Amino acid sequence: MLVRLLILALLAFLGYTLWTALRRSISSDSPDGTPRPSTSRRGEEMVQDPHCGTYVPRHEAIEERSRGGTLYFCSTACRDAYRKQK
């Protein structure tokens, strides 16, 4: 009787784990399965580099003001590559 109860509890745990993993993969915002952050671990706003798509904390990003507003880059290399694309 105790063995059956333990097996049932194990199956319930595995089912719950699979269900939550499946639900997370379906509701993810990005194609690779990782959620897109809106804030860093410290609560800082995260901004996306328009060239490579990397998210960085706003205070660490390299700002580029343009006619359309402000762009944020993860590095000077990405900023320069973005400039060359335009």
Give the mean model confidence (pLDDT) for residues 60-80. Answer: 90
User: Does the structure show a pLDDT above 70 at 1?
Assistant: yes
Give the mean model confidence (pLDDT) for residues 65-83. Answer: 90
Enter the pTM of the model: 0.53
Does 37-86 carry CATH code 2.40.128? no
- At 6-58, the pLDDT tens digits run 999 999 999 999 988 777 666 545 555 555 566 656 677 889 999 998 899 98
**What radius of gyration, in Å, describes the C-alpha atoms of the chain?**
21
